[in-house]
Chain A
Amino acid sequence: MRFGFFLSVLAHVAIVMAAVVTLPSMFDGAEEFQMLPVEILEIGSETNVRAAALKIAEAPEPEPVKEEEPKFAEAPPPPPPPAMNEPVADDAMPALAKASDPKPKPKKAEKTSVKNTMPRRKPKPPAPQSKDELDLGELQALLDKAPKDEPKPQPQQSDDALDSLDDFLAEDQADLPRRAIGLGDGLTISEVDALRQEMQKCWRPPTGAANPEELIVELRIFLKEDGSLVRAPRIERSGTSTFGKNSFTMAAEEAARRAVVMCAPYDFLPADKYERWKEVTVTFDPASMVGY
């Protein structure tokens, strides 16, 4: 009983002492805390805006029937009745209306409407550099030892300022407005991320597939300055299956192409960096989506 009493007193004294020692330092710490202003930018609200109209009509699409289906002038005679009333499947389909069909073709209508309603947007010329800003000419001069080993740019590419190193090194052009080069002209992480977000909004990955690693599709897309597609996306790589192409790889390819076409135009990309995004390779990798 007495031992317990002393133990209790000692414990209380220890708690009070600890409070006396630690509490002031805690308050000191709080006073020394400095507020660091952080600017929160919602890139999504600017870059995830969907375009008012799709521009896929400008991409040259093959005639549907020609690509997929054999043409038939008339329906073939029906086969004899099957046993057990089983339906008979037949791939043969009658041809669609020919070009001479009096009805106007939707494709033509789309082309006209797109041209009328979606004026081509010119890229803004880059603003002249102020003296406080990074001098790319100087930076390039510092870095020019490394590129000497590289093959010189071809003369026919001289219209592209990015490829003409000599032009940039010339003194009389040092202060002129120019397109950026090197790391400085690359898209920022936010801009690349905005493009990625836009495309993933339109992509339905093949979920639940047995071998998702075989369904990776890489597309090469070519963009106009207004962010629309120059032509249909080109498949660079797909279907790593050892069994070759199958229905899974075909569906994966189409899902990827549909995503790119559906989300175009990518008109939020910075016009002054057009050279960096006029050609983009996109890898669609469903591996992490398998559990969905």
Chain B
Amino acid sequence: MRISAPARAEEPLHIVIDQGKVEPLPIALPGFIGKSQAERDTGTNIAKVISDDLERSGLFRALDPRSFIERSMDFDTLPRFNDWRIINTEALVTGQAVIQDDGRLRVEFRLWDVVRNQQLRGKKYYTTPENWRRIAHLVSDEIYTRLTGETGYFDTRVVFVQESGSKIARRKRLAIMDQDGANVSFLTDGFDMALTPRFSPTAQEVTYLSYFNNKPRVYLLNIESGQQEVVGDFPGMTFAPRFSPDGGKIIMSLDTRGNSDIYVMDLRNRRQTRLTEHPAIDTAPSYAPDSRAISFESDRSGRQQLYVMRSDGTDIRRISWGEGRYATPVWSPRGDLIAFTKMLRGRFYIGVMRPDGDPKTERLLTESFLDEGPTWAPNGRVLMFFRQTPNRRDGSGGTVRLWSVDLTGYNLREVPTLGDASDPAWSPLIK
């Protein structure tokens, strides 16, 4: 127990601060300096991408460069901290971009705590000049980690389903982009419908569902090489594939004679193991990050609910006890929460709860006509999902877009995509 005032005169006054301000941290990001015009342009672009990354996280507020007092900065001298404190910033990022004689780009940055007059971080990177965006994301990750303690998630990519065409002839193809919506490229041609892509947590590989001869099959796709293969040769239809945390297994549901159960397949020896055996529909399995447990959805109680079991299929426990139906449980990479889709009285919600099923820990983060398919950023702090906003009364038409939200429920934002997009899958940090 802590006290607010001293019991004895000799003891120092003791106060407890348990409330703070939930406001973004003000940060100043002057353009990275350079000698040539090309260097200055690159420096300005890098600072802009960093600024956008940090702002999008909801935890930072990039100050307007027009408010800066100190403008001509030398990268190798101390900033004039007073000038930065006056404009109420708490952190400052300085940097420079240099195109070397060998044609490569060198980018250096320093992160300053202008309240305590300290340098917090300093690094430099080398790459080809056209790869400057990646450096900007790496610098964003460094700043984010140093100031929040969380691992960054800016140097990541998102695989999603790009949708186009009419409702009858809908084309769904896999696409990949940086987490900020830049650098979009397509992974499948769109002749066969692609659904539910899931990233490997350890490699640049994606598993997804595609129809072949009108039969859904789980595929494995290497992003770098473009190579893909069918996962296993099952007698029935396979759904909802997802990697194990070590990337060595794929867990999915297999439908035989109208009954769906959870199976796991070892990718090394292609051996498959059945984990659930129940006449109800068991699907959407997701491993805990320590591989010891698996969450899934099942209608064994009469309606869709979330369950957790040991990874060998034993000790099945129901964890969702609120009103409505629950689906698509996804275990956080941090292990502390399970994200899900909830359906209640015709509305859809994205929420999180603790894996022990304590109903008090359930927290709904979003609500709309249709929110679905949550995926975690690799640091377990941000969720991305897709939202359909219909423009007809019957719920059809309109748009399907990707959105992100902080696990605290703040900072709901649309992720920019070219046209309709659904089923996002967040990559691990790029190595």
Measured CB to CB, the residues of A under 8 A from B are 54, 56-57, 61-62, 64-65, 67-69, 75, 78-79, 81-82, 85-97, 101, 103, 105-107, 109-110, 113, 162-163, 181-182, 185-187, 189, 192, 195-196, 199-211, 215, 220, 232, 246-252, 254, 257-259, 261-262, 276-277, 279-289, 291-292
Contact = CB atoms under 8 A, between A and B. Distances in A.
A110 B17 CA distance: 30
Interface stretch (B98-106, B210-218, B322-330, B393-401): B98-106
B408 A281 contact: no
A68 B408 contact: no
Contacts of A57: 117
B20 to A, nearest CB: 4
Nearest to A277: B13
Contacts of B122: 68-69, 91, 93
B17 A206 contact: no
A280 B14 contact: yes
B195 to A, nearest CB: 29
Contacts of B76: 94-97
B407 interface: yes
Contacts of A259: 17, 20
21 contacts: A56-B115, A81-B126, A86-B131, A87-B107, A87-B127, A95-B76, A97-B77, A106-B80, A107-B117, A113-B82, A192-B5, A200-B17, A200-B19, A207-B22, A249-B149, A254-B116, A277-B13, A283-B17, A284-B17, A287-B18, A288-B19
Contacts of A69: 119, 122
B112 interface: yes
B116 A199 contact: no
Interface in B243-272: none
B118 A204 contact: no
Given A68-B122, A210-B335, 8 more contacts: A61-B118, A64-B117, A81-B104, A85-B131, A103-B77, A258-B113, A259-B17, A283-B14
* Minimum-distance CB pairs A-B, first 9: A251-B149, A248-B149, A64-B119, A87-B127, A203-B20, A93-B122, A205-B20, A279-B12, A97-B77
Nearest to B124: A90
B121 A68 contact: yes
B420 to A, nearest CB: 30
Contact of B13 (A54, A94, A187, A286): A187
Contact of B117 (A56, A81, A246): A56
B77 A101 contact: yes
Contacts of B5: 186-187, 189, 192
Contacts of B78: 64, 96-97, 105-106
Interface in B322-366: 334-336, 363
Interface stretch (B140-148, B231-239, B305-313): B140-148
Contact of A209 (B79, B121, B130, B149): B149
B125 A90 contact: yes
B21 A203 contact: yes
Nearest to A275: B9
Contacts of A186: 5-6
A11 to B, nearest CB: 41
Interface string B27-43: 00000000000000000
Contacts of A199: 15, 17
A56 B116 contact: yes
A254 B80 CA distance: 21
A99 B27 CA distance: 27
Contacts of B145: 247
Interface of B: 2, 4-6, 9-10, 12-23, 25, 74, 76-82, 85, 90, 100, 102, 104, 106-108, 110, 112-113, 115-128, 130-131, 134-135, 138, 145-151, 334-336, 363, 380-381, 406-408, 410
A286 B117 CA distance: 25
B118 A200 contact: no
Given A186-B5, A232-B116, A283-B14, A87 B408 contact: no
B408 A291 contact: yes
Contacts of B406: 208
Contacts of A86: 127, 131, 134
Contacts of B121: 68
B431 to A, nearest CB: 9
A210 B354 CA distance: 11
Given A88-B127, A251-B149, A203 B119 contact: no
Contacts of A181: 9
Contacts of B21: 200-204
A91 B123 contact: yes
B319 to A, nearest CB: 18
Contacts of B108: 93-94
A67 B135 CA distance: 25
A89 B138 contact: yes
Contacts of A201: 21
A288 B147 CA distance: 20
Contacts of A262: 90, 115
Given A90-B123, A109-B82, A281-B14, A210 B336 contact: yes
B15 A286 contact: no
A277 B13 CA distance: 6
A95 B112 CA distance: 15
Given A93-B122, A252-B149, A289 B77 contact: no
A81 B161 CA distance: 34
A61 B117 contact: yes
B149 A106 contact: no
A210 B407 CA distance: 11
B410 A292 contact: yes
Given A85-B131, A247-B145, A208 B381 contact: yes
Nearest to A105: B78
B90 A258 contact: yes
A79 to B, nearest CB: 7
Given A78-B126, A107-B117, A64 B17 contact: no
A92 B80 CA distance: 23
Contacts of B79: 106
A85 B23 CA distance: 38
